[in-house]
Amino acid sequence: MKGVAMAIITEAELKKQIETGLARAYVLCGGEQYLKQHYALRLGEAACGGPFRDFNYHRFEGKDVELDTLAQAAEAVPLGGGRTCVLVRDFNLEAMKEDKDFLSFLGCLPDYVTLIFWMDAVDWKPKKCKPILEAVNAVGHVLECSPPDAAQTARILSAGAKRRGCALSADTAKYLSESVGGDLNLLQNELEKLCAYAGGGAITRAHIDAVCVKSVEAKSFDMVKAVAAGNGSAALRLLDDLFRQKVAPQMLLGSLAANYIDLARAAMAVSSGKSAEAPAALFDYKGKTFRLQNAGRMLKSFPLRRAARCLEALDRADRRLKSTGLPDRLVMEQCVAELLIL
């Protein structure tokens, strides 16, 4: 199995191969959609850019393509002395793990071809599909694209801003991610808007607040901050925004509860002589440690008892939504009022 593991490479290793020379096959899988698309396009450009690209580049949808068609495309000799690139989106590799013809096809790929399996909507676990992994290992590599952590996301966004002629500091990039959410496709769209709005200058938090559509999680945290400050008008304005976005009340209640749970955990940690971020070691905060950091900054306004009572108020609102027949908006406004009174 040691040799099979070698098929799985890192982003750094893939970037080096794009610069120095490509293998015959790649599989791009994992949970991060943006990175898979990004590397699928980069591999395609590296394999057959230039004047003969239209002749040497072949793209297929996996659910529609037959093995014979793939084989014909892979065997096509490239024009201009370059490489033949075959990109296949969402091919069912799992169904092919015992197909001898397919495994033989992979093993006999010509030296001049780069075959890319881009697992966009199809979930494929390489380590659970040993025959395919072994076959790929003989001719190429697998890249598992996992969601980046906060620091990696900040670097991606800062680099993207620089390419567009703008400056985005690491702290501001982190704020953008916290405000919009961790989806890189969505972040790239928001970054495009920000760069146009900033007009080639430095992107600031004020720009993000003015231009970007904040996630439910970010707006719910802003509501918690408004409640902590006793600013009922701001809290109700945020509630109005969320209703205009057609956010389900149950989803909003869950997001608010998550913020108060963060506060309770941070408060318990600090009261035990630990840092507010300590609960990250006990609960699932991968890529979301900033939630505990934010909670830690609010503890003066939210002692543990207050956070617990706020959670009780959210639970009462949830039961009203499910059992009383009252209008959703009225229930949520009553809930905000209770949180303010607490």
- Predicted confidence (pLDDT) per residue in 263-280, tens digit: 999 999 998 999 999 999
Claim to verify: residue 171 and residue 198 sit in the same structural domain: yes
Number of domains forming the structure of the chain: 3
In terms of C-beta density within 10 A (0-12 exposed, 13-18 middle, 19 or more buried), how is residue 128 classed?
exposed
Q: Whole domain around residue 157: which residue ranges?
A: 150-211
Structural domain ending residue among the three candidates 97, 123, 144: 144
Quick check: pTM over 0.85? Answer: no
Instruction: Give the sign of the dihedral formed by CA 3, CA 7, CA 10, CA 16.
Output: positive
Mean pLDDT of 131-142: 93
Claim to verify: residue 305 and residue 251 sit in the same structural domain: yes
Claim to verify: residue 185 and residue 235 sit in the same structural domain: no
Which positions ≥6 away from 7 have C-beta within 8 Å?
Answer: 126, 133, 134, 136, 137, 140, 141, 142
**How many other C-beta atoms are found inside a 10 Å radius of the C-beta of residue 306?**
18
Claim to verify: residue 46 and residue 83 sit in the same structural domain: yes
Q: Are 130 and 8 in contact (CB under 8 A)?
A: no
Q: Report angle CA 5, 92, 78 to the nearest 5 degrees.
A: 80
Claim to verify: residue 114 and residue 156 sit in the same structural domain: no
Average pLDDT of the chain, as a whole number: 90
Q: What is the pLDDT of residues 98-109, one digit of tens each?
A: 999 999 999 999
- At residue 6 the predicted structure's pLDDT band, cuts being 50, 70 and 90, is low
- At residue 50 the predicted structure's pLDDT band, cuts being 50, 70 and 90, is confident
Mean pLDDT of 39-67: 91
Claim to verify: residue 9 and residue 140 sit in the same structural domain: yes
Q: Beta strand 84-89 with 113-118: parallel, antiparallel or unpaired? A: parallel
Claim to verify: residue 223 and residue 308 sit in the same structural domain: yes
In terms of C-beta density within 10 A (0-12 exposed, 13-18 middle, 19 or more buried), how is residue 63 classed?
exposed
291 closest CA partner among 263, 250, 256: 263
Question: What does the alpha-carbon distance between residue 298 and residue 281 come to, in Å, rounded to a whole number?
Answer: 20
